[in-house]
Amino acid sequence: MPIKIIIITIFALICTSANAEVMVMRGYKPHQGESRTALIIGNSDYATSPLDNPVNDAQDIATILQKQKFHITLLTNASQKEMETEIYKFGKRLSKKSGVGLFYFAGHGMQINGANYLIPVDAKVESASDVKYEAIDAGRVLGKMEDADNELNIVILDACRNNPFSRSFRSAAQGLAQMDAPTGSIIAYATAPGSVAADGNDRNGVYTKNLIVRMQEPGLSIEQVFKNVRKDVVVQTNSKQVPWESSSLTGNFFFVDGNVEIIQEPKQDAVSRSRKADQAMWLLVAESSEPSDVERYLSEFPDGTYSTVAQLKLEQLNRPAKPTAPRTDSPPPPKRRVSPELENFLVMVESPDYRQKYKGSAYIYKRKYGKDPDALDVISTVLTMEAQRPGLSKSNVKVLIYMCKLIALSGNGNYVKVLDNVATTAPNKALRKYATKYTAYLQKTTGHTK
């Protein structure tokens, strides 16, 4: 029996009319001997809070997957009944064909009591209790795919915009809830759990626009595809949106085998995006004393701007230290009190090189550091990820509050949303309190609103 691999990819972009359009694309041979089956749903025409991108996103994803040997069923602007029917048929097709299954949804989505729901266009929701009767539980899709017992499953949910029914709710959590990946699976969100993803100003949403490009690159594993998408989205949104994955994969999956037609993005845009991501990551590892951090940089940017320096630094870090006589009175090594990302940040802040750069004054350094665009990108990215961790120590919280302060002192109103996201979604009460304070300060000094 083949190893069962379930790849659950959740693009948080969920956000159509009672008469759905269904298109089934057939007529191609299995990719390298495997059957590939996909159900693609895009909902835009909501009576409350309609969206511009989801139908376009679904159509473009379907076009790409068709070139990649998937048997496609495309459903747009779907009602609850139509979604339930197609999900049932999708499960039956997977049971018969085995191979690879892929489910994609773009439209409105929300979390209620820790469960994630996909919203049909005909949903009539007046309170939180209506959602489970008017919407589709994402767990239902996962259940059908798991029941099929096929070789590999991919679920893509581009769905975590603002709750369109928030005015009817006493309180409502933002975005989608975090879902732990079952063994042999990967769950990928378009943004961090509890955060809100951006709708695009062009034909596609920010996340799907980059996915469309990256999933056509030959020879990339699915993990590398999403890693590249994350770097693209972070740069394009100035770290306001950070895609997220939870993975427990036991095998490999590749969208492209090298023989599928590739749609190339403009070379200049690709180079610019890669250079910015290169610089942002090097800022994180430049002052690190951990070889693993430098190795991670070299694996993602083997020909990067700083690859030669990184290689020399790695050799230096791996060089064995001169043996010294043990001291019986030596204190035990201190326990790490903060995560690697925060530790790297602290090292960078206290670096003599950076202090010298800013005329030796720590105070001036802190003020100017907070106005450095590259540094702000790094700070906001780390802050957005770390603030969502449960059970933060006092040291972690202290550093995250300091990051909030640096962003507030930057005078850059584009980061109001970053602070506001921490203020409303961070599990730690003290962090939320200070993030609220610094959000108000940045709004007052810049005139930017949430």
Check whether 330 has a pLDDT greater than 70.
Answer: no
Specify if 109 maps to a domain. yes
Q: Which residues span the domain enclosing 153?
A: 5-265
Asked if 190 and 223 sit in the same domain, the reply is yes
pLDDT digits (tens, 9 = 90+) for 276-325: 677 777 776 777 788 888 888 888 888 877 777 788 788 878 877 656 55
Check whether 40 has a pLDDT greater than 90.
Answer: yes
Asked if 168 and 119 sit in the same domain, the reply is yes
Average model confidence (pLDDT) across the chain: 75
Distances (CA, A) of 214 to 83, 186, 202, 222, 224: 28, 17, 18, 10, 9
- Measured over the CA atoms of residue 113, residue 119, residue 120 and residue 123, the dihedral's sign is positive
**How many domains in the chain?**
3
CB proximity list for 88: less than 8 A, separation 6 or greater: 144
Distances (CA, A) of 33 to 97, 204, 219, 250, 290: 12, 32, 17, 20, 44
Asked if 272 and 360 sit in the same domain, the reply is no
Asked if 147 and 222 sit in the same domain, the reply is yes
Asked if 399 and 286 sit in the same domain, the reply is no
Asked if 134 and 206 sit in the same domain, the reply is yes
Check whether 97 has a pLDDT greater than 70.
Answer: yes
Q: Which of 228, 250, 265 is the last residue of a domain?
A: 265
More confident residue, 345 or 446: 446
pLDDT digits (tens, 9 = 90+) for 58-77: 999 999 999 999 999 999 99
pLDDT digits (tens, 9 = 90+) for 122-160: 998 888 888 889 999 988 888 888 888 877 888 888 876
Asked if 435 and 294 sit in the same domain, the reply is no
The percent of residues above 90 in pLDDT, for the chain, comes to 19
Asked if 291 and 362 sit in the same domain, the reply is no
Asked if 219 and 302 sit in the same domain, the reply is no
- Cβ-contact 404, 422 below 8 angstroms: yes
Specify if 334 maps to a domain. no
Asked if 45 and 141 sit in the same domain, the reply is yes
- Cβ-contact 435, 408 below 8 angstroms: no
Asked if 261 and 291 sit in the same domain, the reply is no
* Span between the terminal Cα atoms of the chain, in Å: 53
Of the listed ranges 185-189, 219-223, 298-302, the least confidently predicted one is 185-189
Task: For residue 188, give the CATH number of its domain.
Answer: 3.40.50.1460
Asked if 191 and 70 sit in the same domain, the reply is yes
pLDDT digits (tens, 9 = 90+) for 107-116: 888 888 888 8
| DSSP E strands, 95-183 | 100-106, 109-112, 115-118, 136-137, 152-158
